[in-house]
Structure 1
Amino acid sequence: MGLMLDGVTKTFGENMAVKRLSLEIPEGEIFGLLGANGAGKTTTFRIIIGLLDATAGEVSWNGSRVESKNSDEIGYLPEERGLYPKLKVKEQIIYLGRLRGMKKEHILTELDMWLDRFHATQYLNTKVEELSKGNQQKIQFISAVLHKPKLLILDEPFSGLDPVNVELLKKAVLDLKNDGTSIVFSSHRMEHVEELCEHLCILQHGAPIVQGELKEIKRSFGRKNITIFADFNLEYLKDIPGVLSFKKMTEGCKLQISEEGVSQTVFDAVKDRGFIRKFELEEPSLHDIFVEKAGSSL
């Protein structure tokens, strides 16, 4: 059954932070919840895990409300780190694992495995406050998955990580998914969402403005992109009917066009001008769709 939100609404005084949000996230799937700052993502996450009560609507996990009796099935990585800075990594994880009902021996086994996987075994007895932001984020992630949750909420999980560690974390997320964990995550890095998610929802002022399967969202957007690498000036292409935007790049340009047929007109306009190293018609990126729909530049 997975995770279901049915008409979830949350108000704070006169401010409506989440508006009639309905989602269905099957078991073993990675789902992206996106939006600009203040769109309602974190409030939604807190409602899902039971930190906040919805003003209206219902949340269920495998047919039941999230309560203390099933909260151990859920893991949560908040956007703001929630670690105790004065505790050593080992002390921190043992404490959080015991809160989840784990035995110390099991906690240490899992911790050793995750530290080794994240190339961080040398930090076992290091205070959290002495770690870099990236290593703190890895410890925060470990604390969220140590008890092998069936539902995992990740709020900006790649924050503070360099490209190498982003790849380590993405691989971990995919492995958890393949093991049957349902994962809901938010990220401002649209390329990560495109790589990991099949379904997503974009929120604006707490309400869904785009929702569904990623490939169908892209297909229905209509607009396409063309990337051209050439050894001559391409500025004149911005004046072709159907070219909606022109972005200059080091090796050429990227165009957004109104529909696929415009690509032939663009090709005819460049084919005899000089050497062309690349001419590629592409689906719109999730970044394009987000900026268009949410009206926010990333």
Structure 2
Amino acid sequence: MLRVNNIVKQYASHLALDDVSLEVEQGKIFGLLGPNGAGKTSLIRIITQITAPDSGEVIFNGQRLNANHIAQIGYLPEERGLYKKMEIGEQVLYLARLKGLTTAEATKRIRYWFEKLEMESWWHKKVEDLSKGMQQKVQFVATILHEPELIILDEPFSGFDPVNADIIKNEILELNKKGATFIFSTHRMESVEELCDNIALIHRSKKILDGSVLDIKEKYRNNTYWVEFDGDYNPELTADIFEVLQKDTLRGKTILKVRLMAGKTANQLLSALLPIVNIHRLDEVIPTMNDIFIDQVKQEN
């Protein structure tokens, strides 16, 4: 759906984006990751045509990005932008009309979403009367109301308690099942694990990692395991199979974090330990997206 080609963006002496390219597939949830100041918001503002790149191009559904595409994009910015003195219902209606909906159709969709998200009593409330999480719900509805093909969410769970964060997460997944494509910018790596099909990691204005979440996690597997057992254990007997990275004792059981030697397998690990101890647990340590994020940023630094 979206192809970003060699985007460069500079603000005075600050290079915000340095030759960044990426592709967002139709119907996928794409995670745009990076530390604060990495360039994520600058890229989002170019995709939403708030600003323009100094060089490079954005292709949307096979066409160079242009003003006609605005109606096909929904954008929830990190900086909240509701009018504090305006009634909620009228405000969402106004924003929907800006996206091309008739008053009748917009009102129908607003009532549907307000009922679905338990916001029926909010119509005549003002933004200043709502909590941060309640305001976030209003902006989420305003973002998706015109049923855009591409939905861009910048830190969408900010301000939500766990219950409402779960509600919005499920709505994102439901919209995705119906065909909506998402760009999802966040610092919450657990959300990336739960939601994203593909990611790109931007650091210091450059893209330093991209690909499918499953492929990236597979690439970063490093033959590390947790082993829990009881019995006498002599590390010299297994020194050619694995190295011990960490050792703990809990309720009489030994817990080891081990890394297999090159060419060794989990079966060989078990074969070495079974004759001398009683094994209670063997778990592979799969790197989380948070682990990978931190590792990549540290390497770049």
Separation (CA, whole Å) in 1 of partners of 2:101 and 2:108 = 11
Equivalent residue, structure 1, for 2:298: 295
Q: Residues 107-146 of structure 1: matches in 2 within 5 Å?
A: 107-146=106-145
- The answer to whether the aligner puts 1:64 opposite 2:53 as a matched pair is no
CA drift at 1:4 = 0.6
Separation (CA, whole Å) in 1 of partners of 2:258 and 2:132 = 37
Q: How many residues align?
A: 289
Contact 1:89 1:123 in 2 (8 A): yes
Equivalent residue, structure 2, for 1:199: 198
Contact 1:78 1:155 in 2 (8 A): yes
Q: 1:50 to 1:267 in 2, by over 3 A?
A: farther
CA drift at 1:274 = 7.6
Q: 1:295 to 1:102 in 2, by over 3 A?
A: same
Equivalent residue, structure 1, for 2:177: 178
Separation (CA, whole Å) in 2 of partners of 1:225 and 1:114 = 46
Separation (CA, whole Å) in 1 of partners of 2:71 and 2:124 = 26
Secondary structure of the residue aligned to 1:51 is: coil
Q: 1:246 to 1:130 in 2, by over 3 A?
A: farther
Equivalent residue, structure 1, for 2:282: 279
1:126 maps to a residue whose letter is K
Secondary structure of the residue aligned to 2:20 is: strand
1:116 maps to a residue whose letter is E
Contact 2:39 2:204 in 1 (8 A): yes
Q: 1:82 to 1:150 in 2, by over 3 A?
A: same
Q: Residues 70-81 of structure 1: matches in 2 within 5 Å?
A: 70-81=69-80
Equivalent residue, structure 2, for 1:47: 46
1:182 maps to a residue whose letter is T
Equivalent residue, structure 1, for 2:207: 208
Separation (CA, whole Å) in 1 of partners of 2:14 and 2:55 = 14
1:287 maps to a residue whose letter is N
Separation (CA, whole Å) in 1 of partners of 2:92 and 2:52 = 28
Deviations 1:218-269 (A, max 9, x none): 121232554567899xxx9xxx8755678999x9979584779486659967
Instruction: Name the TM-score, length of structure 1 as normaliser.
Output: 0.85
Contact 2:227 2:279 in 1 (8 A): no
Separation (CA, whole Å) in 2 of partners of 1:95 and 1:148 = 16
Separation (CA, whole Å) in 2 of partners of 1:279 and 1:289 = 22
Q: 1:268 to 1:285 in 2, by over 3 A?
A: farther
Separation (CA, whole Å) in 2 of partners of 1:53 and 1:159 = 27
CA drift at 1:12 = 0.9
Q: 1:226 to 1:18 in 2, by over 3 A?
A: same
Equivalent residue, structure 1, for 2:17: 18
Secondary structure of the residue aligned to 2:68 is: coil
Cα RMSD of the aligned pairs, angstroms, is: 3.1
Range with greater deviation from structure 2 (122-131 or 147-156): 122-131
Q: 1:267 to 1:248 in 2, by over 3 A?
A: farther
Residue segments in structure 2 that go unaligned for 5+ positions in a row: none
Separation (CA, whole Å) in 1 of partners of 2:89 and 2:42 = 30
> Larger Rg: 1 or 2?
2
CA drift at 1:122 = 2.1
Separation (CA, whole Å) in 2 of partners of 1:50 and 1:242 = 53
Separation (CA, whole Å) in 2 of partners of 1:163 and 1:119 = 16
Secondary structure of the residue aligned to 1:16 is: strand
Contact 2:245 2:256 in 1 (8 A): no
